[in-house]
Chain A
């Protein structure tokens, strides 16, 4: 059991010193990774732990990102802490009625319903030009971190310095809270519902109520992640809430492995850097990603974490222990 903690500590240390060693370009790539990682932690509470696949999660990423843009440009609110809280709150407010309706359905019906709500929101962003800037979107102004404005920093210096560490802190906090949630009595109840809703109900656990709570938590995570994503993106536009974005979220989780707690985080990392690598040599990156997804589903349904797990089990170190 000690090996995972060693890995975790090593990864944490690497993330801390990364901006000192890596080229600024790669450090800026870490920002969407960390923002998506927050989104995926929440998404996987719904997917991996509750057994519901949302195809409309970009809705809540959009709500979070637009909350940030609206607050900074319209209301002059620059405190990122306030923005993140407001983004989470806004996502929860939207998720409450949407979730209450969606969780009455499962499987493909749940997926389609979430997709439908996502499309409604996308259209709203696109068409309500005066409110949202339509297809041009809205600017996300540079937020202050812990009350500091970092006025002397260039955009890149701000992003690879203070904003990088702030994002990392948010990711660590979000991970810690999610770890707590999946290890709570509530987390256990979600797993029972995923495995066998009929049996869960016979034990007195209300399936719709727990699914709704999980939906709300996952929406809050997506909202916070979306707001975190808005700053490196700079300009928030409706593509953030488009259904392909929801598809990317599902892809990332499958890539990393939904049956592992850290799988989604690894998935976000692999997705962002793989996308960057493929795009730099080949313009049709989606073609490559489609093939990767097909290969994953067929050959490695456990995702990267599943692969790592099976390699670790085969290693002589593990064999000697057992």
Chain B
């Protein structure tokens, strides 16, 4: 198991966001976490990425307790994440954004007097990822000038540049037009294979994406795991269809 949560409880005052969640992510898995609004998905992502302390239970990444360790330590251990609301560096170019991730990974961030321009590793590595994500021709574009879809891709691409073992994607296709969602996912999955990611966990609302790409689906409801299984099993689970997927039939 790469990532494991056991009996995780997280409460905010009297409100219980997660009420005994147990799950495990193994090698070469693409796992989707689904659930209606308020099911605890965002809290779960924050718990799994060490952003929150737990009220009870444990979260382990490669047999290390990561509860509340924070984003910097998490990235060093080999876990990366992207955000639901796209996070970019508006004044930096695409290339600079990716270079920053390479600099972080290679431990060069405290090099005050070495030249960034003349470091071939940083340059090549950043360009490689840019190419994987189809952003190579926009390498010199300031990030703020990118279309929304490309901003989203860049957010994910910079996380991939850390060459993590596992990545947690918080709604990777939110804000992307329906027509482009599959293209984004194809790029993601292709890049994950190229970079050698061991596992992908995503929180996603779009059921086409969830069922099209997942090896396994975990359905969350009221802070508990409602179901955990292969897509076919999930689709056949009446409770999940009722509480989560059923909403798909309703016109939006």
Sample of 19 further A-B pairs with CB below 8 A, known A188-B99, A189-B109: A177-B113, A181-B113, A183-B116, A184-B111, A184-B113, A184-B114, A184-B115, A185-B103, A185-B108, A191-B92, A192-B92, A195-B91, A196-B89, A199-B158, A200-B100, A202-B75, A203-B100, A204-B71, A217-B112
Do the beta carbons of A189 and B83 come within 8 Å of each other? no
Q: Does A213 contact B (CB under 8 A)?
A: yes
CB distance from B192 to the nearest CB of A (A): 18
**A198: B residues at CB distance < 8 A:** 83, 87
Do the beta carbons of B113 and A188 come within 8 Å of each other? no
CA of A185 to CA of B119, assembled, Å: 9
Contact code string B94-108 (vs A, CB < 8 Å = 1, else 0):
001101110111001
- The chain B residue with its CB closest to the CB of A210 is B109
**A104: B residues at CB distance < 8 A:** none
CA of A187 to CA of B92, assembled, Å: 12
Contact of A185 among B80, B109, B162 (CB under 8 A): B109
Q: Does A180 contact B (CB under 8 A)?
A: yes
- The chain B residue with its CB closest to the CB of A192 is B100
CB-contacts of A208-262 with B (<8 A): 209-210, 213, 217
- The chain B residue with its CB closest to the CB of A187 is B116
**A210: B residues at CB distance < 8 A:** 109-110
CA of A188 to CA of B81, assembled, Å: 21
- The chain A residue with its CB closest to the CB of B143 is A195
**B108: A residues at CB distance < 8 A:** 185
CA of A203 to CA of B126, assembled, Å: 14
CA of A201 to CA of B111, assembled, Å: 17
Q: Does B70 contact A (CB under 8 A)?
A: yes
CA of A272 to CA of B163, assembled, Å: 50
Interface centre among A189, A191, A210 (most CB of B within 10 A): A189
CA of A186 to CA of B116, assembled, Å: 9
Q: How many residues does chain A have at the interface if contact means C-beta atoms less than 8 Å apart?
A: 28
Contact of A186 among B81, B87, B90, B109 (CB under 8 A): B109
Contact of B113 among A180, A192, A195, A201 (CB under 8 A): A180
Q: Does A206 contact B (CB under 8 A)?
A: yes
CB-contacts of B147-195 with A (<8 A): 155, 158-159, 162
- The chain A residue with its CB closest to the CB of B114 is A184
CB distance from B67 to the nearest CB of A (A): 17
Q: Does A205 contact B (CB under 8 A)?
A: yes
By size class, the interface of chain B is 35 or more
CA of A46 to CA of B147, assembled, Å: 30
**B114: A residues at CB distance < 8 A:** 184-185
**B70: A residues at CB distance < 8 A:** 201
Sorted nearest first, the 6 A-B pairs with minimum C-beta distance are A204-B75, A195-B89, A199-B87, A185-B108, A201-B71, A185-B103
Do the beta carbons of B81 and A202 come within 8 Å of each other? yes
CA of A202 to CA of B46, assembled, Å: 12
**B72: A residues at CB distance < 8 A:** 201, 204-206
Q: Does B2 contact A (CB under 8 A)?
A: no
CB distance from B126 to the nearest CB of A (A): 11
CA of A213 to CA of B112, assembled, Å: 9
> Contacts A186-B109, A204-B76 given: A199-B96 contact, CB under 8 Å?
no
Contact of A204 among B105, B122, B155 (CB under 8 A): B105
> Contacts A200-B100, A204-B104 given: A191-B112 contact, CB under 8 Å?
no
- The chain A residue with its CB closest to the CB of B96 is A188
Contact of A202 among B71, B105, B116 (CB under 8 A): B71
Q: List 6 A-B contacts (CB under 8 A).
A: A186-B111, A198-B87, A203-B75, A203-B101, A203-B162, A204-B105
**B88: A residues at CB distance < 8 A:** 195-196, 199
CB distance from A90 to the nearest CB of B (A): 20
Contact of B159 among A184, A187, A195, A202 (CB under 8 A): A202
CB distance from B112 to the nearest CB of A (A): 5
Do the beta carbons of B117 and A203 come within 8 Å of each other? no
**A186: B residues at CB distance < 8 A:** 109-112
CA of A188 to CA of B158, assembled, Å: 14
CB distance from B94 to the nearest CB of A (A): 13
CB distance from A301 to the nearest CB of B (A): 14
Interface centre among B100, B110, B113 (most CB of A within 10 A): B100
CA of A183 to CA of B108, assembled, Å: 13
CA of A225 to CA of B32, assembled, Å: 57
Contact code string B205-235 (vs A, CB < 8 Å = 1, else 0):
0000000000000000000000000000000
**A184: B residues at CB distance < 8 A:** 111-116
> Contacts A191-B96, A196-B88 given: A202-B83 contact, CB under 8 Å?
yes
> Contacts A185-B119, A204-B162 given: A192-B89 contact, CB under 8 Å?
yes
CA of A86 to CA of B140, assembled, Å: 42
CB distance from A113 to the nearest CB of B (A): 23
- The chain A residue with its CB closest to the CB of B76 is A204
CA of A202 to CA of B91, assembled, Å: 18
CA of A181 to CA of B116, assembled, Å: 10
**A195: B residues at CB distance < 8 A:** 88-92
CA of A217 to CA of B71, assembled, Å: 26
**A188: B residues at CB distance < 8 A:** 92, 96, 99-100, 103, 116
Contact code string B124-156 (vs A, CB < 8 Å = 1, else 0):
000000000000000000000000000000010
